[in-house]
């Protein structure tokens, strides 16, 4: 299967869908670059990777977790004493969305 050739219309369509503003003088360059990228992807699909062993896999890792223990005293009253406004242990902030 031959690589896709990107033309000006496809670049304009992609730019519109991506909400990108591309100058008309740059469209040919983008089309050429995108064609090269797609050709490289197509070439990469032809590489036989069946005998290649993965170097690592994030799911093979294990995370050492510590116990979830309280290590500091509750200082909520101290911190809320300097807050502009609190109610029932919560910080009150100005409404920003109606």
Q: What is the pLDDT tens value at each position of the chain, 98 positions in all?
A: 566 889 999 999 999 999 999 999 999 999 999 999 999 999 999 999 999 988 887 777 888 888 999 999 999 999 999 999 999 999 999 989 87
Q: Delimit the domains of the chain by residue range.
A: 8-45
Both tokens of 11, joined, read: 């670049």
Cα–Cα distance list, 22 to 8, 25, 33 (Å): 11, 8, 14
Whether pTM exceeds 0.85: no
């Amino acid at each position: 299967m031959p690589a896709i050739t990107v033309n000006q219309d496809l670049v304009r369509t992609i730019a519109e869908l991506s909400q990108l503003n591309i100058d008309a003088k740059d469209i040919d360059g983008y089309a050429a670059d995108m064609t090269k990228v797609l050709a490289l992807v197509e070439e990469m699909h032809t590489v036989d990777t069946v005998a290649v062993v993965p170097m690592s896999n994030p799911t093979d890792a294990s995370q050492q977790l510590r116990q979830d223990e309280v290590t500091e005293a509750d200082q909520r009253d101290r911190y809320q004493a300097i807050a502009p406004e609190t109610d029932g242990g919560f910080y009150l902030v100005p409404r920003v969305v109606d």
